[in-house]
Amino acid sequence: MSKVQMPVSLLRGVGKATDALLERLDLRTVGDLMRHFPRGYEDRTVLTDVAALADGMTACVSVTLTSSPVLIRGRNRPFVRAMAADDTGVLVLMFFNSPHAADRLMKGERYVFYGRASLNGRTAAMINPVIDRVGNDVTSDGRLVPIYPTTAGLSQYKLRDVIGKSLAYADEATELLPSVIRARYGFMSISDALRIVHNPPDRELLERARTRLAFEELFILALVLTRRHRSDAAGRMLPTPDMTPFYQALPYNLTGAQMRCVKELLADMARGTPAMRRLLQGDVGSGKTVVAAACVYAAAKAGVQSALMAPTELLAEQHYQSMRELLEPLGIHVDLMTGSLNMKTRRAVLEGLFAGVTDFVIGTHALLSEDVAFSQLGLVITDEQHRFGVEQRAKLAHAGETDEAPHVLVMSATPIPRTLSLVLYGDLDISELNELPPGRTPVQTILVPEKNRQKTYAFMRSLFKQGRQGYVVCPHIEGSDDDILSVETHTQTLSEAFRDYTVKFLHGRMKTDERERVMRAFVRGEVTLLVSTTVIEVGVDVPNAAIMVIENAERFGLAQLHQLRGRVGRGKHASYCALFSPNANAETRERLKALCATNDGFALAQEDLRLRGPGDFLGVRQSGVPGLHTAALGGDMSLFSDARDAAHALTMADPELEDYPALREHVEKIIRMRPESS
């Protein structure tokens, strides 16, 4: 047995208690420990002068102890206090709950402390700082200290210690990357990479080690995905019909990107097996609807039915309208199925579906009810699928009366870099609409200083006078926080400011039917100004809305702001997006300026990813992709495509990974672990 499979309890310093704690982190073997990657690093390479400490700042100081530590027993918790100083100032050190701190500190010695500073008046203090280094030989070459994901009761210190011990076996770590691939990309060995991520000598090497480990994870993910694909369900072959009538009935020409996507989708459907599972990704307004309609047309001509599932009744209705316009002139029978149909209509719709008279049904989750039966369901489309769980997708996908799985098309307007989609929607192929139809006037976006608020309102009034409508988005539903506006309080203010117009509000805590009522009134133009939370983010189409005001814009991610902005600029009118962010710091302003500077959702998503990091952006764990550690998702996007290419090349050359038994075993283990998704 390889040493990396050795149980952690055999390491020195790992007793019963530690063993149990490690098990909670799923760390059972020495190999597990070595692959427990830091979630970040404390930078102790830079020393800060005591005089330069600011309140709340986390820093490293090099000081000499000017008093012996004393135990203070006040009325509150007892603590150990010591005074220290460097050339620039005096620092008070306080240690709570650490009776041994006193033993480790001696008057007259020099130490490096790492911790959060607080300023009481002009006196700097640190509470429970880490005692980093001791002795007089302190130089300024500090360290990057790993911070691990851990569990209650297991200190960073202890975890670092046992991981350090596990690294004695780093030479025996299983190398999963084939040597040809390592050579091609100039990657270091797994043993070196492991030693370095846990104990980085400098940033440059750390970066190289992380890149190598990230590549490995992505490479393995890509292998997992290709292998899963091979076992995909059989779909029905839907030969592509003559599409000319469809194109000719359109009031415009498709863009190049639309043409390409239609081709990709129809090719999947024509091939049949495996059934199509494709994500159609396109910025707001890129024209996904017509691409989906082309597929529905092809499916209908091949004699099967299609279903489109939307997250809300309103969206279902809007799709129903536009799909009918596109398809009914071509003899495709389109129907609508929502929860609020009366019995009689519902019955008629069900009969149409069962009898095969209806070619295409559009609906909400009502489509998932038990009694919905299709004659021949061949294509399932979901819009804005992040609102639907994978499970629901699967359920509908199996609602067909045949053994063959329906083809699945997922439409998403959440702009995600292609490479990341690969991770998020790992089991889907991707088609990308990276081009907007011609003739759009881009939305003009402005970061408005607070002092111009009234001016903005005056401008809104002038738009409303011309018959336009608008949105105001607030981060909170209720409450009157000075800093953050809420829908409820702000609606009051705005009702005053826009007394001559109808102002209504909308938020996620309202009942669904109430929400839909307000939304419908807005669609019909009976409401001029809609104050809302981000619930309006998803896909509603009101071409008459010409201004979007976003309050406390600093509270939203770039991708989300872009999505909100996409609610305007959908018609022929010049449109505007006004951002208020009175409390924005420099960094936030930079972010918001990026939004003002471009209307390109993908560029913004990329930037958002860079600024916020993949953790916030993705939530990988929830999406059921195993084996992706945070270490895997650095900023370097080309890594994704490289890893994918390498995996494909290897799969071509050696489909069963016969020459790579360790890799094969690893991939298979992940496939077994991975939750089934459709």
> What tokens appear for 90 in the block?
């005096």
Q: How far is the CB of 314 from ligand ADP (least distance, A)?
A: 14
User: What's the CA gap between 145 and 160, in Å, rounded?
Assistant: 9
Q: To which H or E segment does residue 220 belong? A: helix 203-230
Q: How far is the CB of 321 from ligand ADP (least distance, A)?
A: 11
Q: Is the dihedral of CA 342, 343, 344, 347 positive or negative?
A: positive
- Residue 443 binding ligand ADP, by CB under 6 A: no
Q: Determine if residue 19 is left, alpha or beta; phi over 0 gives left, psi from -120 to 50 gives alpha, anything else beta.
A: alpha
Q: How far is the CB of 640 from ligand ADP (least distance, A)?
A: 24
> What tokens appear for 99 in the block?
């009776």
Q: How far is the CB of 280 from ligand ADP (least distance, A)?
A: 9
Kindly state the number of chain residues that form the binding site for ligand ADP, as judged by CB under 6 A: 14
- Residue 289 binding ligand ADP, by CB under 6 A: yes
- Residue 582 binding ligand ADP, by CB under 6 A: no
Q: To which H or E segment does residue 377 belong? A: strand 377-383
Q: Alpha carbon of 156 to those of 36, 137, 143, 162, 589: distances in Å? A: 12, 25, 15, 10, 35
> What tokens appear for 664 in the block?
């094969």
> What tokens appear for 575 in the block?
């449109």
Count of positions (residues) in the chain: 678
Q: How far is the CB of 318 from ligand ADP (least distance, A)?
A: 8
Residues 400 to 439 in contact with ligand ADP, rule: CB under 6 A = 413, 437
Specify the residue, 172 or 600, whose C-beta has the smaller distance to ligand ADP: 600
User: What's the CA gap between 75 and 166, in Å, rounded?
Assistant: 45
**Residue 521 CB contacts under 8 Å (≥ 6 apart), including other chains:** 504, 527
Candidate ranges 42-50, 65-73, 179-187, 285-293; the one touching ligand ADP (CB under 6 A): 285-293
Taking CB under 6 A as the criterion, the residue among 178, 287, 415, 475 binding ligand ADP is 287
Dihedral angle over CA of 289, 291, 295, 300, nearest 10: 50
- Residue 532 binding ligand ADP, by CB under 6 A: no
User: What's the CA gap between 677 and 398, in Å, rounded?
Assistant: 12
Q: How far is the CB of 309 from ligand ADP (least distance, A)?
A: 15
**Residue 515 CB contacts under 8 Å (≥ 6 apart), including other chains:** 506, 507, 508, 535
Q: How far is the CB of 288 from ligand ADP (least distance, A)?
A: 4
Q: How far is the CB of 330 from ligand ADP (least distance, A)?
A: 16
Candidate ranges 77-85, 279-287, 497-505, 609-617; the one touching ligand ADP (CB under 6 A): 279-287
Candidate ranges 251-259, 491-499, 525-533, 590-598; the one touching ligand ADP (CB under 6 A): 251-259
Specify the residue, 169 or 320, whose C-beta has the smaller distance to ligand ADP: 320
Specify the residue, 364 or 434, whose C-beta has the smaller distance to ligand ADP: 434
Residues 304 to 343 in contact with ligand ADP, rule: CB under 6 A = none
Specify the residue, 197 or 540, whose C-beta has the smaller distance to ligand ADP: 540
Specify the residue, 291 or 423, whose C-beta has the smaller distance to ligand ADP: 291
Strands 79-86 vs 70-72: parallel, antiparallel or unpaired: antiparallel
- Residue 285 binding ligand ADP, by CB under 6 A: yes
Specify the residue, 291 or 650, whose C-beta has the smaller distance to ligand ADP: 291
Residues 174 to 203 in contact with ligand ADP, rule: CB under 6 A = none
Candidate ranges 14-22, 39-47, 253-261, 473-481; the one touching ligand ADP (CB under 6 A): 253-261
Q: How far is the CB of 310 from ligand ADP (least distance, A)?
A: 11
Specify the residue, 315 or 632, whose C-beta has the smaller distance to ligand ADP: 315
- Residues 436-454 as b or e (16 or more Cβ within 10 Å = b): bbeeeeebebebbeeeeee
Candidate ranges 6-14, 230-238, 254-262, 551-559; the one touching ligand ADP (CB under 6 A): 254-262
Taking CB under 6 A as the criterion, the residue among 18, 286, 414, 491 binding ligand ADP is 286
- Residue 255 binding ligand ADP, by CB under 6 A: yes
Candidate ranges 92-100, 278-286, 585-593, 613-621; the one touching ligand ADP (CB under 6 A): 278-286
Of 112, 105, 68, 104, give the one whose Cα is nearest residue 86.
Answer: 112
Taking CB under 6 A as the criterion, the residue among 252, 481, 621, 653 binding ligand ADP is 252
- Residue 288 binding ligand ADP, by CB under 6 A: yes
Dihedral angle over CA of 205, 207, 211, 212, nearest 10: 20
Q: How far is the CB of 283 from ligand ADP (least distance, A)?
A: 7
Q: How far is the CB of 360 from ligand ADP (least distance, A)?
A: 16
Specify the residue, 101 or 413, whose C-beta has the smaller distance to ligand ADP: 413
Which stretches does DSSP call E strand in 108-194?
A: 110-120, 123-127, 130-134, 144-147
From residue 31 to residue 70, the character string flagging contacts with ligand ADP as x (rule: CB under 6 A) and all else as - is ----------------------------------------
User: What's the CA gap between 446 and 572, in Å, rounded?
Assistant: 20
The amino acid at residue 509 is: R
Dihedral angle over CA of 633, 639, 641, 646, nearest 10: -120
Residue 474 near residue 551, CB atoms below 8 Å: yes
Q: Alpha carbon of 350 to those of 212, 354, 403, 609: distances in Å? A: 55, 6, 21, 44
**Residue 589 CB contacts under 8 Å (≥ 6 apart), including other chains:** 447, 581
Three-state DSSP at 435 gives: coil
Candidate ranges 12-20, 166-174, 261-269, 288-296; the one touching ligand ADP (CB under 6 A): 288-296
Q: How far is the CB of 542 from ligand ADP (least distance, A)?
A: 12
Candidate ranges 64-72, 229-237, 282-290, 387-395; the one touching ligand ADP (CB under 6 A): 282-290
- Residue 363 binding ligand ADP, by CB under 6 A: no
Q: Which residue is nearest to ligand ADP (CB)?
A: 287
Specify the residue, 397 or 411, whose C-beta has the smaller distance to ligand ADP: 411
Question: DSSP 3-state helix, strand, coil percentages of the chain (rounded to 5)?
Answer: 45, 20, 35
Candidate ranges 124-132, 286-294, 515-523, 663-671; the one touching ligand ADP (CB under 6 A): 286-294
Taking CB under 6 A as the criterion, the residue among 18, 29, 150, 258 binding ligand ADP is 258
Cα 186 versus chain centre, distance: 30
Residue 173 near residue 190, CB atoms below 8 Å: yes
User: What's the CA gap between 223 and 655, in Å, rounded?
Assistant: 10
Q: How far is the CB of 413 from ligand ADP (least distance, A)?
A: 5
Q: How far is the CB of 252 from ligand ADP (least distance, A)?
A: 4
Taking CB under 6 A as the criterion, the residue among 284, 315, 380, 568 binding ligand ADP is 284
Q: Alpha carbon of 189 to those of 210, 216, 578: distances in Å? A: 12, 11, 51
Q: How far is the CB of 258 from ligand ADP (least distance, A)?
A: 6
- Residues 292-312 as b or e (16 or more Cβ within 10 Å = b): bbbbbbbbbbbebbbbbbbbb
Specify the residue, 286 or 419, whose C-beta has the smaller distance to ligand ADP: 286
Taking CB under 6 A as the criterion, the residue among 125, 262, 290, 367 binding ligand ADP is 290
Residue 487 near residue 476, CB atoms below 8 Å: yes
User: Which residues of this protein are in contact with ligand ADP, per CB under 6 A?
Assistant: 252, 254-255, 258, 282, 284-290, 413, 437
